[in-house]
Structure 1
């Protein structure tokens, strides 16, 4: 069977020739077993959409079993099978996706996978697909770990898109690693989980590097957006009016979506990109910039404002005044607001500022 079975011809017809830069893989001699570990804000939607391409159940594992049970409840036992021990999932799956919170969790997980495969004396060909945002050098560490297990290949495949984009299956997938393995994985992911694949060749570190570069553009844009909206408020122009101008001048979906969150104080991190992930990413970007002797002052400011927002939120939590369980990274606007003498999270508390008089 082909790993792309289950996709309608109509859906495939919408693909452009450059959306998947690999020829179709040959049909394997047996049905491939696919696994997914990490059902967080991104992983849950990715796993759910992946089931649309599979003729048999997707094997899933998660630190919190409740998320796996939720997926089974949503899709049914014919589509999803829970494997409590991720080590067993690594043993059973031919293609194994991981989407995890940070570098330390990723490395710990792969150490467990390698130990399990060595104990089982693995003889099956396996493809591990790491989709998290990590520092580039971790790719080499994971590759060294897996090199001790015969018949395994690693693909680094971080994705671009917020949880809402993951939900609609419109992610952009970045890939680096073994060509044949990328071919199998790309046609499994697009269409359905993602809308496009960008191939960065065989050097595994290139994919996470590119992901950090892309995130630097998004985070730097959030910083500029936060500064402009704060300046608007301080100079007597409604931030909503500035947001309307941004929609006309720079109608990029991230700017529109995050600008709307800033203007309306919609900082719920459970419905967006949580601030801890943003701080992790900004830390990685700044390290990459330092390692490359490439200053990024906008990122430095964004990082500090993320830390300010988190500190303000934790102080509110200590007083029992927090509004959200966790913050979205658009809350970095709290840093620019507080620096300007405004309330960080509640724009209704801002003093009315007289408009600039007409000349």
Structure 2
């Protein structure tokens, strides 16, 4: 594939520092790659939107992004938002497989990922491509699934697979500030990295040629995020029970650990803002916690805090489903910050309205 790179990126040393590969050979003349995007969930929609908008406004001779989603409504919504000149809607997965040079997938779970790639494989076995085709799997999957996908894709002539999970909540994806992790074929990673940064993300980590490394690192990273959330949730709960108040504890997070994700999740926890439609849905959190627990078992590397996280996520989901049945649920879907519900319930507080059940607050004594 002969892919050109926009000139202003070529002159940006800051951009180069964030991509650990030399630039691919890019002749001045030649067609742009046709890029497909499959999966328009909470993350995928924003990733696809940013990619389509960036390439449509920055890349000369760009072709529209070809998108597919199980729910056609989301694909049509994206097309309406960015314009038909930037997004086309595929009629099915087979069209994406045959028409695109680079295919990015962002899907809900391992079973869906495998199903989609099986369709890709069947399509391309029946009509082998005549030129290079790169598949970019960005979902959070168990590492061994990468090997299964590789057996489906890499045996087809001219087809390459890289694993490329991303770090960042939907708010980060919205700003095209994701951290992107890559493993697999070097030349494919180099090609894709300069397409995704800065259009979708701000930095790439290279984990080498083993396709399982990037998914493994993604789970390790998510285990740390889940651990941070659990510790904050327990601290906020103790602050409520002791009368100090969770807002005071959140203020300490902001002053002592001013990391944007911690502050954002802290706000959600303290103010019961568990809307899963704009955050990382709890089912995804439970899936990731389950994957991490399996990974620790496979490597004989205990992570007891993740066992607690898993229990608290299940507790939150169970109580939320009870509220939905009773018609008292505030949100149709809750996100993984609702794991604080487990700590609150264990402490005798209302899980979803912890502050309302809090003990009397500490009153500052200004007397001399």
How far apart, CA to CA, are the structure 1 residues paired with 2:26 and 2:339? Answer: 48
Q: Which residue of 2 aligns with 1:344?
A: 351
Which of 210, 222, 236 is residue 203 of structure 1 equivalent to?
210
Tell whether the 8 Å contact from 1:274 to 1:327 is kept in structure 2 after alignment: yes
User: Structure 2: where are the runs of 5+ without partners?
Assistant: none
Match of 2:227 in 1: 220
Is the Cα–Cα contact under 8 Å of residues 25 and 184 in structure 1 kept in the other structure? yes
Shift of 1:87: 1.4
**Structure 1 residues without counterparts, runs of 5 or longer:** none
1:16 to partner: Cα distance: 4.7
Determine which of 293, 308, 322 is the counterpart of 1:301.
308
- The count of corresponding residues between Structure 1 and Structure 2 is 356
TM-score, normalised on structure 1?
0.95
Match of 2:101 in 1: 94
CA deviation profile, 1:98-136 (whole Å, cap 9, x unmatched): 000000000000000000111123222100000000000
Most deviating of 340-349 and 262-271: 340-349
The residue aligned with 1:320 is: 327
Provide the TM-score with structure 2 as the length reference: 0.93
Q: Which residue of 2 aligns with 1:163?
A: 170
Write out per-residue CA displacement over residues 25-84 of structure 1, whole angstroms, 9 at most, x where no aligned residue.
122643311110001111111111112125110111100111111111111111001002
Is residue 25 of structure 1 aligned with residue 24 of structure 2?
yes
What are the superposed Cα offsets for residues 138-192 of structure 1, whole Å, 9 maximum, x if unpaired? 0011001113311100010000000010010000000001110001100001112
- Equivalent residues in 2 for 1:137-152, closer than 5 Å: 137-152=144-159
Counterparts of 1:12 and 1:99, CA distance in 2: 31
Aligned to 1:195, what secondary structure does the other structure show? strand
Residue 154 of structure 1 aligns to a residue whose secondary structure is strand
Q: Which residue does 1:331 correspond to in 2?
A: 338
> Which stretch of the first structure deviates more once superposed, 53-62 or 177-186?
53-62
Equivalent-residue separation in structure 2 for 1:357 and 1:166 (angstroms) = 41
> 2: distance between equivalents of 1:242 and 1:3?
50
Which residue is equivalent to 1:128? 135
